[in-house]
Each structure stands twice: as structure tokens, then as C-alpha cells.
Amino acid sequence: MATRAIAMEDEKTGEVTEAVYEHPFIIRLCHWVNALSLFVMVGSGLQIFRAFPSFGAKIPQKDLINWPRSLALGGWLGGALQWHLTFMWIYIATGLLYFGYQIFSGHYKQVLFVRRDVPGLWPMVRHYFFFGPKLSVREAYNPLQKYAYTSVIVLGVLSVLTGFAIWKPVQFSWLAWLMGGFHWTRLWHFLIMWVLLAFVFGHLVMVVLHGWNNFVPMLTGWKEDPEYRLE
């Protein structure tokens, strides 16, 4: 699906600007449902972790961290498992809908990091983090954005796979084996959560820095007066 654009005339000034339909409905729906379910998965996951906050042996038990109950969801292990085992299906369903839509609509081209984005990656890092020059934009996402979004989607898939391997280490014994065994899988699952949280943090910082006009398109789909022109 080619991205839609419209020209828009201000009825008072007569000035013509462009608006681009960046985020189709299904993508916006998946984004917000996923944001909520990720929040629930992290909160309940941390409560589950509180039951055994370690990656070592049970005897002797050496706790890694005393995670506060106030920063967790579910109140107790059983409650947290109810949240986790309920929202994991929502998390998975959202992911499947997202992949299905992206593939069949062809819209994935907007977000997928591909070989041709590689040369643009470092200049973008330089611009964001080392005061490098601002670069001209020709599409909705710059190479660094594509890299970040593509990675986070891969991590989302890995969070599900590691989760399944911990939940069903017998039925999916091959999966747990691939990840280095049950013990390691539990650690991967935990580390992936922190990387996802780091992404969310960076994502929110960028939303604040880049302002309203970058946030609204994830609600309405349309970006008014984008920096780039569709070719």
C-alpha cells in the first residue's frame, strides 16, 4: 500500500501544506494495545520475579535485588500470574495482527531496517548524540528510527519465545534448549524486559523532544506538514 498524502489549503491564509497518512488504523490499534499490554506484562512480571529474585540456586538463595511491591502488579505471585497469563495472549494477538497487516499491506517498508539504511545509521547517531549536522529526511523514518523499531519488534518476538520456553519447558523443550536451557531462558526473558523498557524510555524522550506533531500521527494516522516529501 502506497502511503497516502493530501494537500491542504488553510481557509484563512490560503496557504497550502501537505499531510501524510503515516500510520494506518491497524498499526495505531496495535501500538496502543501493545503499549498497555507491555505495561501489564512488565508490572506482573516483576511481581512474579519477586517470588524468586535470583538467577542462581534455590539453596543457598542469593537475591539479586529486592524489587519493591509498589512497583509491581498483582499483589502476590498468584495474582501476578493471572495478569501475566491473561495479557500474554493479548500481547501475542496484537503481534500476530501487526505482522499480518504489515506483510499483507506492504506497509512494513516504512519501518523495516534494510541494507540500504546502513550507511545512514552512523550520521543519524552523530546527529542525535554527538551534535552532528541535521540530515535531510526523505521518508517517514530515518535509518536510526528504522533500526530501533525493527530491533524492538525482534525483541518483542524473543520476549514471547523465551516466555513460552519458561512456561512450557517440557512441551517446548527444544526452545529452552536453543536458548541455553531453562535457567538461561529465564535470564534472557528478564534481560529482554529491561531492553524493552530502555526502548520505551528512549521512545518517550524522543516524543517529548520532537513534540506534538510527531505524537498525533499515532492517534489519527495523519502527519501535518511533514519534514519530508513523498516521492
Please state the closest distance from residue 7 (CB atom) to other proteins, in A.
4
| Nearest residue (CB) to other proteins, 170 versus 209 | 170
Minimum Å gap between C-beta 93 and other proteins is 11
**Shortest Cβ 22–other proteins spacing (Å):** 11
Q: For other proteins, which is the closer residue by CB, 81 or 125?
A: 81
Q: How far apart (Å, rounded) are the C-alpha atoms in residues 106 and 3?
A: 10
User: What is the torsional sign of CA 39, 42, 45, 50?
Assistant: negative
By C-beta, is 6 or 157 nearer to other proteins?
Answer: 6
- Min dist CB 212 to other proteins, Å, is 13
Phi, psi of 173 (to 5 degrees): -60, -30
Determine the Cα–Cα distance for residues 207 and 222; give it in Å rounded to an integer.
16
Helix (H) or strand (E) holding 29: helix 25-51
Cβ-contact 188, 162 below 8 angstroms: yes
Three-class SS string for 137-165? CCCCCCHHHHHHHHHHHHHHHHHHHHHHH
Closer by beta carbon to other proteins, 96 or else 114: 96
- Of 54 and 151, the one with the shorter C-beta distance to other proteins is 54
Minimum distance from CB of 61 to other proteins (Å)?
Answer: 8
Which residues contact other proteins by CB under 8 A? 5-11, 16, 18-19, 25, 28-29, 32-33, 36-37, 40, 48-49, 51-52, 54, 57-59, 61, 77-79, 81-83, 85-90, 167-171, 173, 177, 182-183, 186, 216, 219-222, 224
**Residue 214 near residue 205 (C-beta atoms within 8 A):** no
